[in-house]
Every structure is written in C-alpha cells, then in structure tokens.
Amino acid sequence: MENETNLFFHGIFGAKGTSVILKTAIMETVKRTINGKEVEIKSQVDCTYGVLVIPNLSAAELQDLKLKSNQPMPGFKMSDKPVLNEDGTESGMFWVTHS
C-alpha cells in the first residue's frame, strides 16, 4: 500500500482525539431526492483511509489546527502497515507516516 498519493483530511478520531483520519480521495456529494426530501449523498469513489496518530497534541490542540474537510495534507503518505482490529484482523485502514 505504501505510496506517495495525495492525502486529504477526513476527521479527528479517538477517545482522546489524538488520531487524524486521512483519505486518498475526495468524496463529492450529489443532491438527490428521497421521499420528497432533498438530501446529499456521497459519490462512490475508490478511497483508502489511514490513521495519523499525533500523541503530543491534545484533542483541543488538534481542533485548534482548524483542519478542513478534504484539505490536502502534503508531507504524509500511507504506509504498507495495516491498522489491526482488536482481534488481529486487518481493519481496511493503514497507518500514515511522513513522506
């Protein structure tokens, strides 16, 4: 999996908020109507998610970075190391490292 693909900010995750979720593609939204109500749905794209752990920042400090959805995150890449579930199976996500 290790590659130099552009990564984009997706969100902040974790009980202490010290993990940043990055992704390899921007998922566009499309407006559709369901039972008369207009909704936005995500378009289907080939997207891989990764976890960047930043242990020296608190959740509040990460929020202070004011990262925006789909913001490019230069200087990082997906590693070839999968994030494992508690039972040892692969989660489908990869660890993010610096490039």
* Residue 58: HSE in the Cβ half-sphere, 13 Å Cα cutoff: 2
Per the CB < 8 A criterion, the answer to whether 78 and 35 are in contact is no
Rounded to whole angstroms, how far apart are CA atoms 16 and 29?
Answer: 29
**74: helix, strand or coil:** coil
Predicted structure pTM score: 0.80
**pLDDT tens, residue order, the chain (99 aa):** 555 579 999 999 876 668 999 999 998 888 999 999 999 998 878 899 999 999 888 888 888 999 999 999 999 999 999 999 999 999 999 999 998
**62: helix, strand or coil:** helix
Per the CB < 8 A criterion, the answer to whether 70 and 79 are in contact is no
Q: What pLDDT was estimated at residue 27?
A: 84
